[in-house]
Each structure stands twice: as C-alpha cells, then as structure tokens.
Structure 1
Amino acid sequence: MFGRDLIRNISIIAHIDHGKTTLVDRFLDITGTVEHRRMKDQFMDSMDIERERGITIKSKPVKLNYTARDGKTYEINIIDTPGHVDFNYEVSRSLAACEGAILLVDASQGVEAQTVGNTYLAIENDLELIPVLNKIDIPNANIEETLAEIVDLIGYKAEECLLASAKTGEGVVEILEAVIERIPPPSGDILAPLKALIFDAVYDKYRGVVVHVRVFEGSVRGGDRIMMMSSREIFEVIEVGYFLPQMVPTDSIDAGEVGYIIAVIKEVASAKIGDTITGATNSTPEALPGYRVAKPMVYAGMFPGMPEYYEELRKALDKFKLNDAALVFEPESSPALGFGFRVGFLGLLHMDVVRERLEREFEITCILTAPNVVYRVTMNDGTVREITNPASFPEPGEFAKVEEPFVELSIITPSDYMGNLIGFITTEKRGEFKAVENAGKNRVVMKFVTPLSEIMFDFFDRMKALSRGYASMDYDIIGYRESNLVKVTILVNKETVDSLSFIVHVDKEYAVAKKVVDKLSELIPQHQFQIPIQAKARGRIIARSDIKALRKDVLAKCYGGDVTRKMKLLEKQKEGKKRMREIGQVTIPQNAFLAILRIGDEE
C-alpha cells in the first residue's frame, strides 16, 4: 500500500485516433506492468470492434507502479475514458474520479471539437491538465500550428505543452514525470465513513457485477456491507482489488485509491455509473455530486433477421443489458418484419456498436428500422407524453404542443469551408447560427443550436464531404424546445403501415414524404394488381406513387375478329385486377424498411 502523497489518479483526454491507447501501451512498457511476452498493440482495447475502429467503447482502468527520477515509486491510476460524444456522461464520471488529466492532441490533425468539449468537462471538475502533442515523428506533423491552437482554445502557454511520440516512445518518460510533478495527490480521510464513486461496472457471468470505483473517503474490504446511495440497496462485499491491468485481489482499497469491488450484485442496473457507495451501517451523510440516470436519446425498432429467432434476440438483449445499463427495450411488432423490440440508445454510435456486438458476440443478425429521438407531447388535457415510436404520435387536434430535443453544436473547421457548412446547417438542418471564434491559424470554431433529429441522418458524412474531411463536431443536449412537427403515415394499398411512419418538421413534410413513396415504389415488387403508395399527414394525402400491375397479354390468342371481342377481354381483365386489389395482400420486403434509414436528408 502506498501513502496518499505517492498516488496519482489521471485520465487521458483525446479524440478518436489521436493515439491514446498507444500512449497507454508505452506506459505499460516503461513501468513493466505487463510482461513483454503478453504485450501487444492496443493492449487495453480488448473488443475486436474497438481494435478495428480505433475507438474506446468500454473504458478500462489500470494501475502502474512507476519509479520516478527522485527515486520514489509512485502508484499511477489511469482511468480511461470513451472518446465519443454518445458516452459523454461516462466521460464526466471518469474525470470526476481523477485529480488530473493528460490532454493528448495529434500534431498532424490539430485540436478537434470533442477534445475541446472534454477539456471543458475536465476544467469544470477542477482537474490539473498536462497538454501533450503526440505523433511528432510523422512527416506531416504541424507542431507550431497545433501549439497555437492549444494556446488559443484552451489557454495554456506553449512552454507548458510536452512533445511526444507514443509510437516510438520519444518524450513518454517526460509525460510520466510531469504527472508526478504537476498533478496533486488525492486527499481523503481513511478513518471517515466510506464514500466511493462508481465510474464503471461490468458483468461477469461467474461472479456477478464487478464495480469499478474510486474511493474518496474511508476504506472497503472483503466482508463489509455496502449501500448504493441512489437506490439504498445493500450488498455484502466478497472481494476487492486493483487493476494490473488484470484484476488482482487485495485486503482493502483505501481513500485516494482506484480498484474494483465484487459483491453479491446480480444486475448492472443496481450499480449505476456515477452513484456513490457507502457503508451499510456507518454511512456518509451526502452522496458525491453529479449523479444522474443515463437516459436514451435515440430509439429504433430491432428485429431478428428471421422471425423464428425472436426468442434468441430477446435473450441476447437481456444478456447485453447486464453489461450496458443504458440500453432499454420493450416488445414491438411490424407487419413486414414480425415481432421485435423498440430499443433505446444513447446515440447513433451506441446504436451501431450494440447492433455489431449482438451480431458478433451472440451470432444474431439484426434489422434496425429508422431511428428517432424522444418527442415530448403536451395533450389538450395538460398531460405530457414521451413519444419513442412515431406510430404512437397523437392525431392533429388531440395535443396542444410538441417539443423535441435541441443540441448546442460545435464545429471546428478550416475557415475556407465555413460558408458551405453555415449554409448547410442553417438551410437544410434547421440550425441557428450563434457564434464563430478563431481557433489558431486558418481554423474557426462555429456554434449552432439545432434539433437533435437533424444531426441523426446523413449529417456527419455531409459535414465531412463539405469540408473535405477536415471538420470535426461535438454536441451537448441543451433541453427541449417547441417545434412545429407532424406525423407522416405511409399507406400501402390503402392500408396503414405503422413501421414506416415518421415524424418530420412541417417545412419538410412534402419533400421527405415524396422521397419515401418514390423509394418504396422502386423497392416493393410488382403484384398482379396496381398498388398505390400514399403519404398522409394532418388528415390528407400529400404524396402518392403507384406500382403498376404485372400484365398478362390476354389478347395473345385473339387472331382477327371484331374489336369488341378484344375490348370484352380487356374489360374482364380490368374487373379481375380491381377485385384482386381489394382482397390482395402486398408483401413489403425488408430492404424497403432499411432504405428509409437513408432517406431523411438526401437533398
């Protein structure tokens, strides 16, 4: 056990692909934490999807023992953070468990929008920051300009920034020395009642929930009875330990330290991220600040690739939820896709990751319908309903107002592309331009307020295309605002198909509805009868497209004779087609549902 003055708790703030995982690899090398024969690149990214995409999805802490130049051995706890905006709350809780952070910036790419957002989060948590320029060894590293951006955006002096290459190891020892010198040791009284922050929790099928904690006050050991302060649930501790980076048991975790707790916890939902753990009998009077329940912001229908796999999908979602408390789901059915679930996600990346992990880890093919945000509808009687499924949106006249979530959007881009992006966001995405600031040489930070639903479809790809790949974005949800929204219902052969309904702003209702009916007329195969595809909004049909009937040449056997004979045959065929349309069933293929995902904004 180390004295508290020899402990440092840090996080690493970095944008995707700026070299955070590689830097941790070098730390593990230098401190000898992992045996050389077990070492591999991206050691801390254990999931295939993390290694392939170069992103951190599930943060993993690690404890290093580092002998500094002053001859003392220090305990450095690195509390990793996910790099994507969807996991912003988890980032804030990880930062709350630290006293300092390394701000890692790629010298070739410069400061990105998400890095700025996470830096402000760190400043709000009163963390001591160490700015580091990474990848200085690559030919296109632009050190002077990137230093200027750090000075402009974050307010640090150029001489306070460290230069390093995580790949070659150059400057990495200086980073560890700076951690010892600049970041304060943790405070906390080991004799006070237990007060520990949960910054992560994972499910182990043999041992139940493993809770990742930073202890602020007191200590915890095997046999103690602990209480979760948000739910008042009580559990008995079986084991405590450190991350080296594998879990290693110890006698106790004391004030200032980071480790894990295994108690008899059966569900991750009982160990909520951001919650405070205290003693069941000798408890602390108030919880640590900042806890909130993670609420899904995006909902989509999820269906098994084959209807007979419905039960397997349900079991897979149940198991997945053990490891991801932010996921919510309830049963749903669709005429074309059969039985499935309405699933809530933190954002689009979270949705994509869940789908891919279900396919890889549980070998289940999933079909996702078009995602939508959570709308808030105030009914005429004053009650407020949250709408997660467009099919349950009330009819005109039944409600007083509709509100949708808005975000504050930050975009960092070279100034050459500023006009293109402002035009795109304000005209096509209902955005409101707020401000622009200088961000170093030839770069600007633009601020917008825009509906969350507008940045869900085709936004990221269009932004990258308009800026030739140079722009980066970050957003913060700022609450609900009233909007003039309507539900567009799709009718196929005059029958409503709820799964194809969508909610859209009144200014876009015709344009989007026309695209949807035209696309469906291409994707639904021809039948023996004509099929009308209609879009209905506010009680009237606003767009229509027809699929022509498959025709049989009934005149093929008519050789010569009076024209009335031909007319009689065609009239008979026409009557048959009419009767078939009245009783016929239209088969809507699955790819028609998936195509709606790409329609939202193809202007």
Structure 2
Amino acid sequence: MSNNAATSTEEQIRNVAIIAHVDHGKTTLVDQLMYQSGRYRNEQLDKMAGGQHGLVFDSNDLERERGITIFSKNCAIDYLSDAGSNCRINLIDTPGHADFGGEVERVLMMADGALLVVDAYEGPMPQTRFVLQKALAQGLRPIVVVNKIDRPDSRPDEVVTEVFDLLVDLGADDETLDFPLIFASAKQGWAANAHDERPEDMRALLEKIIASVPAPEDRSAEPTQMLVTTIDFSEFVGRVAIGRVRAGKLRDRQKVTVIDRHGESTTQQIGQLFTFDGLDRKQATEIRCGDICAVVGLDPVSIGATIADPEKPVALPPILIDLPTLHMTFRVNDGPLGGRVGKFVTSRQIGDRLERELRSDAALRVEPGETREQYRVSGRGLMHLGILIENLRREGFELCVGKPTVVERVVDGERQEPVELLVVDVPADHQSSVMALLGDRRANLIKMGQKSGATGFVHMEFSIPARSLIGLRSRMLTATQGNAIVHHTVIGFEPMRGDVPHRSSGVLIAHEPGSVTAYALDALDDRGVFFVKPGDEVYEGQIVGENCKAGDLVVNVVRGKKLTNMRASGKDDSTSTRPPRLMSLEESLEYIDDDELLEVTPAGLRVRKIMLKESDRRRVSRRAQAALSL
C-alpha cells in the first residue's frame, strides 16, 4: 500500500477495474457486491435490471439481450473493513469483448488495481489476454478471482496455473506473478481464500481489495489535473465528463482550463460536481484527489481532455487507443421502400448521429465517403460496428451499409493487414474439418493439444487474417455440427497473406416489385433457400434467397396463379413453403458481397444489390470482363 494512503480516521479510496472474458461472471459479481454492501435489496436490484434477477450493471437493452457488457459503468461501495477503516471502493465494470477495447483502455486509466475474473472451467481466454495485457501496460497488478467454482466441472488448480502461465507469457514481473487469489461463486454470493471453503458472503474479496490494491497517491497540494475518460450525455444538462482527479481538487463553480487531445485550451467554469453513490450520482461541493467523479457544465470537452488549473494548466498524457481494424460504408437508403418507417433518413441526420457517437466512442472513426451521401465508418470489429448499427435502427434511423472490409496499412512499401489470434475448442472427431476450413483461409497453426479438464476436446490456436473471420463463425458451426467454441482477438498487423475464399453460392434476386406469393416460392423451391415468406413486400434488385449453385439468378417471387375454369384457386390451400432463413444483423453483414448492401430499417433488414436493375448489372459486368481481357 502507498505511504500516502489515508489513515483509519479518514475514508480510504480504492479504484478497481473488473476485467474478464465474455460471460465469465464479472457483472454478476458486481451485483453481489452491491447487494451485500447493504445499499440495495434483491428486489431493488431486480427492478433496476428490468425484472431480470441481478445484472443491474447491464442497463442497455442490447446488453440484456446478448448477455454481454458493451459500455463501461461506475459504481461505489461503502465498506467497513475488519480493521475498522471506512473504505470507499470505486468499481469499474468493463467490457470483455475485444471489439469494445476502446472502452477498456480508457477506464483502466482510472484504476489502481484490477480484479481478473476467470471462469473455473474455461480458464483464461483470448479476451482475457487482451484486457490483461492492457492492464499490465497501465501498471495494474491483478487480484485473480476464480469464479463459478461451484460448477461440477470446475478445475481451479489447473486454471490458476494457466493464469500464471499467461502472466509469464505477457512479461509480468515477479511481484505481479505472486498474485492475490480468491475463489468465488458470484451466482451463489460467496468468496473464499481457498477453493474448499464455502463462506456465506463476499467479505473475503472486499478485504483482499483493501489489502492488495494501493490507495491513490496523495497529490492534493499540486495544481488540479483530471483526465476525461468517458463522456455521458443528459438531455437536461448536456455533456457530462467522467474521470479521476489525478492531482489537486475540484470544487463546485471552479474556473478550470480544458485542454483537448490536440493541445488547444479553453477557460470554462464547472457547473456541478457529482460523486458516485452506489449506482447513482450524488451532488458534491468538492472532489478530492484520487476519487472518480462526473463534471457537468463543460463544453467543449471530449475524451482524452485534461481539466486543469487555469493558473498552471498542464495536460496529462493523452489516451492511446488501438487503431480500427474494420470499416464499412454507411449511406442513405435509396431503395424503393426507403423512408416508409424511419424517422431519420437523410445523410445530414446520419452524419450528425455519427458525430455524436464520436464524442463518446474513442475507438470509432468516421470519414467522408465517395459521395456526399456516404460515410466511411471504421471500428474495432464486426460486433463493434454491428452494435452501432443496431442502436441506429432502434432509434428510428434508416440507412444502407456495405460489406465490411479490413483496414490495411502500408509499412515500408509493404501492404499489411490485421491478424487475430483464433482459439477453437472442438470435439476430436471434428478436428480435421476445422483444420481444412481454416487452411483455406490462410490460418497458421500456433498450438494444439488436448483441452485440460475436457475429455475428447482438442484445443487449437491459430493466427489468422481478420478478413478471413468474416463469415467464418456460421461455417465453423456447420462443419462441427454446432460443437465448436470459437474466440478471437487482434494481435497486430502482418504482411498480406493472399486471397481468401469468398461466398461460394450465388443469390436469388427479385425480378419485379410486389408481394411474395406462396405459389411462386413453391415453384422455385428447388432453386435454393429463401430469405422471404409469402406476403412480404419486395422490389426489383432485392436479394430474396441463396442460389443452390454458383452465380446469381433473377427470379419472380411475386408471380400469382392465373385462374381459369380448369384451375381453381382452392388448390393453393395445399401449397406449402419452407420456413425462410432468418439472419441476424451480424450474420447479414458477414453474408453480403462487394456489390451488395444491407438495408437497415426500424422494421427489419433487407439485402439488396447496389445496382437494382438487371440491365445495369449486366453492363457493369461486361465492362469488367472487357477490362480483364485487356
């Protein structure tokens, strides 16, 4: 503990980030700590979680639906330690998916320590490695929490060894390798110092935090400095800057200098100050050094800005965010059915919304497209951009997005592309299928062996180009009959590895507009799998299914049965069609090709060709063939 730690007569502060792989239980762990702090009863947590037991930190609709953490959150717990000290523990819940690494990198800067939550069966996973590497780079020493110890297939000793090996691989020092260890069941609400103990509460974890995480350094006598790591927005007060006071103090109505990431400064006045009180915010007149707070009334202010003393304005080191790895085109929905259900359909409205997103998402990049109605949007992965598109759709936006492509860079005249670490756990009898599938996609095998504690499973690690992962998950599940467990994370840039396979099948394209009929789908049943059902409205150029052969095929799915005295309409009652293939947003983004678009509306998704008319597509095809012949 720091020599400048607060005494027992003064409230002590601990700033702790919680990092883990997806679905290893860190959000449930936070909920239990909130409940056992005495601030909330179970029924209050259930009400905050929208009727779902616990998981109150997953407040966003998408987080609850997907069961993952997307946005970082802060809360504070008041705790009376066994030594009689009043302690204030600021907990920072962080995303576990590498696509939201921008959130992870920022919030780690507010912490003095970390809880590394690891599943007692799965052990450390690729995202664990990703986030842990970021934490070690910030100088944070982790407390390892082996969670879900109550699982019948748990293997705590092997998992602890795997965490040690991971830290060695990441270059951790000897002090970090001697990490504090806690065994817990967040679901059952207990934590212990040994895996064979079964206490009734989480007190062992709270005591370990107090003993192992250093108190913030006391720099209250120095000029004020606070780094803005998160931006929130309120319809009532506007922008809210959240961060940790690194030096000095902040006072209500104080004059400050705001220095942005580019070094430009403005003199402003703080409107209000808030500390975190449980899950809520409580207005304060002063924020002391080391505490995390929210500042209202500053504009302009952005992520990475420093709030400094106007008499001695000194900027803190800027936040370094990893570069995007994937980009796609956002454009106005110019389809025949565009604008019918959306509230925001113009390029200006889309551009303004993307600009607002940039203020709170440091990992996002937005650039002008080829035309005034297009934007080139870059992010950290398909899920990162998919979450943005889904939020736009739910807010009432209509737009079209193009095929995701990787962000390349040129180093010393050589083209380089992002490469990811791909981890696959699969039953042994499907090993050859996985090897064949990944071999075609330019993957290099790094490690292979039996998965510890899982009889009959093979553990494989590959380095693979990020572009090879587009569309891989569905093919992997098909090849392994749904038994593969797949995770991946970016590890850097490498020279281009050559071509990778594209979609092998063609598509079925609507020939004319109208409503889909069962008669037409029944007649085309042997042509492939359809994405539409009888009664759906389609237009010329819309992709209505997948061809069972290579090459695109134009079909008429709105053709009705012509009635005569010899052909009665009653016979249509016996017509049956196969259920359509329904694809999620991410699956649709993986599916589309270079000459196709995904039409996103509040009512649903449609896949279409960029050029709707068949004559236009043929003309472009002839030109391309002529150019190749030259």
In structure 1, the residue matched to 2:241 is: 211
In structure 2, the CA distance between the partners of 1:188 and 1:457, relative to structure 1 (3 Å rule), is farther
Match of 1:430 among 416, 431, 442: 442
1:179 partner letter: I
Match of 1:282 among 305, 312, 321: 312
In structure 1, the residue matched to 2:378 is: 344
Task: Kindly indicate whether residue 273 of structure 2 is the aligned counterpart of residue 240 of structure 1.
Answer: yes
| 3-state SS in 2 of match to 1:86 | helix
In structure 1, the residue matched to 2:137 is: 124
| 3-state SS in 2 of match to 1:450 | strand
In structure 2, the CA distance between the partners of 1:476 and 1:589, relative to structure 1 (3 Å rule), is closer
1:127 partner letter: L
Deviations 1:354-407 (A, max 9, x none): 1221222x13354433212234579xxx9xxxxxxxxxxxxxxxxxx7734222
Structure 1 unaligned regions, length at least 5: 383-400, 485-504, 528-532, 534-542, 551-586, 597-603
Deviations 1:230-284 (A, max 9, x none): 2323232212221222221212222211111123325xxx412x44432233122
In structure 1, the residue matched to 2:620 is: none
In structure 2, the residue matched to 1:175 is: 205
Within 2, Cα distance between the matches of 1:154 and 1:436? 20
Within 2, Cα distance between the matches of 1:594 and 1:375? 25
Match of 1:21 among 23, 27, 38: 27
**Residues 152, 440 of structure 1: 8 Å contact kept:** no
**Residues 37, 79 of structure 2: 8 Å contact kept:** yes
2:294 partner letter: Y
Within 1, Cα distance between the matches of 2:295 and 2:99? 26
In structure 1, the residue matched to 2:292 is: 258
Rg larger in structure:
1
In structure 2, the residue matched to 1:33 is: 39
In structure 2, the residue matched to 1:523 is: 509
**Residues 324, 365 of structure 2: 8 Å contact kept:** no
| 3-state SS in 1 of match to 2:487 | strand
Within 2, Cα distance between the matches of 1:406 and 1:330? 20
Within 1, Cα distance between the matches of 2:391 and 2:108? 26
Deviations 1:482-517 (A, max 9, x none): 566xxxxxxxxxxxxxxxxxxxx3x65xx65x74xx
In structure 1, the residue matched to 2:608 is: 593
* Shift in Å, 1:84: 1.1
* Shift in Å, 1:473: 2.4
In structure 2, the residue matched to 1:106 is: 119
TM-score by length of 1: 0.70
Match of 2:465 among 451, 467, 471: 451
Within 2, Cα distance between the matches of 1:589 and 1:253? 48
* Shift in Å, 1:53: 0.9
In structure 1, the residue matched to 2:579 is: none
1:403 partner letter: R
Within 2, Cα distance between the matches of 1:424 and 1:70? 58
In structure 2, the residue matched to 1:85 is: 98
1:523 partner letter: I
In structure 2, the residue matched to 1:578 is: none
Q: Could you say which structure has the higher helix fraction? A: 1
Q: Could you tell me the percent identity over the aligned residues?
A: 25
Match of 2:75 among 58, 62, 65: 62
TM-score by length of 2: 0.67
In structure 2, the residue matched to 1:190 is: 220
Task: Kindly indicate whether residue 396 of structure 2 is the aligned counterpart of residue 363 of structure 1.
Answer: yes
* Shift in Å, 1:26: 1.0
- Which deviates more from structure 2 when the two are superposed, residues 256-265 or residues 414-423? 414-423
Task: Kindly indicate whether residue 348 of structure 2 is the aligned counterpart of residue 318 of structure 1.
Answer: no
Deviations 1:115-139 (A, max 9, x none): 1221222222221211112222344
| 3-state SS in 1 of match to 2:295 | strand
Task: Kindly indicate whether residue 495 of structure 2 is the aligned counterpart of residue 481 of structure 1.
Answer: yes
Within 2, Cα distance between the matches of 1:369 and 1:130? 43
Match of 2:338 among 307, 321, 330: 307
Within 2, Cα distance between the matches of 1:243 and 1:233? 28
Within 2, Cα distance between the matches of 1:589 and 1:53? 21
In structure 1, the residue matched to 2:418 is: 406
2:206 partner letter: L
**Residues 373, 452 of structure 1: 8 Å contact kept:** yes
In structure 2, the CA distance between the partners of 1:289 and 1:547, relative to structure 1 (3 Å rule), is closer
Within 2, Cα distance between the matches of 1:87 and 1:589? 23
**Residues 261, 318 of structure 2: 8 Å contact kept:** no
In structure 2, the CA distance between the partners of 1:62 and 1:138, relative to structure 1 (3 Å rule), is same
Match of 1:161 among 160, 181, 194: 181
Within 1, Cα distance between the matches of 2:242 and 2:319? 17
In structure 1, the residue matched to 2:327 is: 298
* Shift in Å, 1:332: 6.0
| 3-state SS in 1 of match to 2:608 | helix
* Shift in Å, 1:346: 2.9
Within 2, Cα distance between the matches of 1:438 and 1:99? 37
In structure 1, the residue matched to 2:563 is: none
* Shift in Å, 1:449: 3.8
Within 1, Cα distance between the matches of 2:112 and 2:598? 55
Within 2, Cα distance between the matches of 1:405 and 1:173? 47
Within 2, Cα distance between the matches of 1:169 and 1:468? 32
Task: Kindly indicate whether residue 232 of structure 2 is the aligned counterpart of residue 226 of structure 1.
Answer: no
**Residues 27, 93 of structure 2: 8 Å contact kept:** no
Deviations 1:410-450 (A, max 9, x none): 4263694666545433x222223445689855688755443
Within 1, Cα distance between the matches of 2:597 and 2:272? 54
**Residues 12, 81 of structure 1: 8 Å contact kept:** yes
| 3-state SS in 2 of match to 1:307 | coil
In structure 2, the CA distance between the partners of 1:283 and 1:407, relative to structure 1 (3 Å rule), is same
Within 1, Cα distance between the matches of 2:67 and 2:553? 46
* Shift in Å, 1:296: 6.7
